[in-house]
C-alpha cells in the first residue's frame, strides 16, 4: 500500500453497491479514504456538483450519464463513449477517464487466448460493453456482435452460433440476483472462451455453464483490480507498484471465497467450521440452524412432518441464500450432496471440503435419517456425491484442531 495520500477523499458511485469489492482493492493500493456512494438517478447531478470527493470511480448505470457534467474528458474515454474514473483538479473542475479499457485488456491477456481473427458476441449495451468493443476492435477481433435486452432472443442468437468468444457485460447473474444468465452456451457450439465482467459471485451461472462444458473462462475480478490500479494513477499522479494487480487479485479472491464443509452426519462439520471461522476471523453459518431461522421449523421436525423430499426442497432454498455470501465458513447438512441442484449454489463462491471420518466415530444423536439406516449404508449411497462435490478431501481424526488446520492449509494452498 502506498502512503502519503491520507488527506484524499475517494470513492465509488453507482446505483447498487452492496456487492462491491472496490474498498478492499483501493485500501491495498493506497491510504486514501474510499467510500461507497449509492445514488438514485435523480441524485447524480447534485452529487457531481457537490465536489464532496477528490476522485471517484463510476459503475452501473452511470458510466455514460456522468459525461455531460464533466469539464474535460480524455480522448480515449471520448472515443469509447464511457467514463469510469473522475478526478477533481485544484480549480474544482472534473476530468473524466476510462480505466476499464486497461482492465479488460488485462483480462484478455490473462486468459492466455489470442482473440485476433475470432468472432465475439457481447451481451450488454452500457458503458462496460462500449469499452469491451473498443478492446476487441484494437485487438483484431474479426467480428463482434452486441446484444441488448430487446434483441436477446433465441432466434436472433441462433444467427451467431459461430461465435468463438462469449462476453457478458450486463448485470445478469450479479449479486444478489445470482443464477441469472444472459444466454445458454449450448447456442454457441464453437465457443472457446467465456469472459464475464461480473466478479460477485466468483462463478456466475454463465461461468458455471462454461465450466461444465470445459470452456476456458474468467470472471471480472482481474479486470476490476487492474482498472482500480490504473485509476490509482489518475487519482494520485503516481504509478502502481509492479506486481500489485496480481497480488491484490489473489488477496481479494482468498478473502472473499467461502469455505464450505460437506460430510457425513456427525463428522464434526459444525465444530470444525466454528474453529476455522475463529482462526480466520470469518462469520460461521450452520446450514441446519439457518434452515430453522428461514423456515420456522427444524430439519428434523420438517422431515418428520413432511418427508425428506419436501425438506430437501426447502434446504435448497437455504443453501442458495448461504451460497451468495462471501468470506463465510458454511457447514452443510450431511445429505446436502444427495441433491445435485445444491452444487452450483455452494460452488459459485465456495471452495468445498469433504471431511471424511471413520464411521465408528460419527455422532448420531438427533439425526432422524442417521437413525433410520446404518452409517455403512448411508456412506455407501453418498460417498460418490461427497467426492463429486468436493474440491478437497480432508481425513479427520479425533483432534478437531488438526482437522481445522488441515483445511486452512489446503485452502491457502
Residues catalogued as catalytic = 63
Buried b (16+ CB within 10 A) or exposed e, 65-76: ebbeebeebbee
Give the ranges where 17-56 is alpha helix by DSSP (H).
Answer: 22-29, 44-50
**Cβ atoms 295, 352 nearer than 8 A:** no
For residue 358, give the nearest of 229, 218, 225, 264 by alpha carbon.
264
Distance of CA 90 to the CA centre of its chain: 37
Query: Nearest-CA neighbor of 123 among 69, 181, 81?
Result: 181
CA distances from 319 to 37, 182, 203, 242, 258 (A): 30, 23, 16, 40, 13
User: Do the beta carbons of residue 314 and residue 302 sit within 8 Å?
Assistant: yes
> Which sign, positive or negative, has the C-alpha torsion 408, 409, 410, 411?
positive
Segment holding 219, helix H or strand E: none
Nine cell digits for residue 54:
477528490
Helices and strands per DSSP (H, E), number in the chain: 17, 16
What is the H or E stretch that residue 260 is in?
A: strand 258-263
Please report, for residues 54, 80, 295, 359, the alpha-carbon distance to residue 409 in angstroms, rounded to integers and kept in the order given: 42, 45, 35, 24
Amino acid at each position: 500500500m502506498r502512503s502519503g495520500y491520507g488527506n484524499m477523499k475517494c470513492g465509488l458511485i453507482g446505483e447498487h453497491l452492496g456487492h462491491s469489492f472496490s474498498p478492499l482493492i483501493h485500501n491495498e493500493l493506497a491510504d486514501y479514504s474510499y467510500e461507497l456512494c449509492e445514488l438514485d438517478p435523480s441524485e447524480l447531478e447534485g452529487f457531481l456538483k457537490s465536489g464532496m470527493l477528490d476522485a471517484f470511480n463510476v459503475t452501473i448505470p452511470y458510466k455514460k450519464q456522468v459525461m455531460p457534467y464533466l469539464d474535460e474528458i480524455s480522448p480515449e474515454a471520448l472515443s469509447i463513449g464511457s467514463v469510469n474514473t473522475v478526478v477533481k483538479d485544484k480549480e474544482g473542475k472534473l476530468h473524466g477517464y476510462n480505466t476499464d479499457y486497461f482492465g479488460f485488456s488485462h483480462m484478455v491477456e490473462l486468459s492466455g487466448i489470442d482473440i485476433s481473427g475470432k468472432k465475439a458476441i457481447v451481451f450488454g449495451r452500457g458503458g462496460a460493453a462500449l469499452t469491451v468493443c473498443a478492446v476487441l476492435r484494437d485487438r483484431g477481433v474479426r467480428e463482434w456482435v452486441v446484444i441488448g435486452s430487446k434483441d436477446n432472443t433465441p432466434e436472433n442468437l441462433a444467427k451467431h452460433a459461430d461465435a468463438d468468444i462469449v462476453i457478458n457485460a450486463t448485470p445478469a447473474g450479479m449479486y444478489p440476483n445470482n443464477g441469472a444468465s444472459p444466454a445458454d452456451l449450448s447456442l454457441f457450439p464453437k465457443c472457446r472462451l467465456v469472459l464475464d465482467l461480473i466478479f460477485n459471485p466468483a462463478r456466475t451461472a454463465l461461468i458455471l455453464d462454461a465450466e461444465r462444458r470445459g470452456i476456458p473462462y474468467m470472471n471480472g475480478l482481474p479486470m476490476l483490480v487492474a482498472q482500480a490500479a490504473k485509476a490509482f494513477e489518475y487519482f494520485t499522479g503516481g504509478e502502481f507498484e509492479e506486481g500489485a494487480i496480481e497480488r491484490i487479485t489473489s488477496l481479494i479472491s482468498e478473502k472473499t471465497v467461502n469455505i464450505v464443509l460437506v460430510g457425513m452426519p456427525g463428522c464434526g462439520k459444525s465444530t470444525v467450521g466454528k474453529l476455522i471461522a475463529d482462526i480466520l476471523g470469518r462469520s460461521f453459518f450452520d446450514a441446519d440452524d439457518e434452515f430453522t431461522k428461514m423456515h420456522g421449523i427444524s430439519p428434523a421436525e420438517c422431515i418428520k412432518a413432511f418427508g425428506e423430499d419436501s425438506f430437501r426442497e426447502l434446504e435448497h432454498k437455504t443453501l442458495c441464500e448461504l451460497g451468495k455470501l462471501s468470506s463465510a465458513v458454511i457447514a452443510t447438512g450431511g445429505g446436502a450432496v444427495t441433491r445435485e441442484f445444491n452444487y452450483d449454489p455452494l460452488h459459485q463462491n465456495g471452495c468445498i471440503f469433504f471431511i471424511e471420518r471413520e464411521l465408528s466415530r460419527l455422532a448420531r444423536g438427533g439425526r432422524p435419517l442417521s437413525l433410520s439406516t446404518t452409517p455403512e449404508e448411508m456412506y455407501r449411497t453418498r460417498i460418490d456425491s461427497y467426492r463429486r462435490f468436493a474440491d478437497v478431501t480432508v481425513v479427520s481424526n479425533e483432534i478437531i484442531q488438526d482437522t481445522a488446520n488441515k483445511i486452512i492449509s489446503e485452502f491457502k494452498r
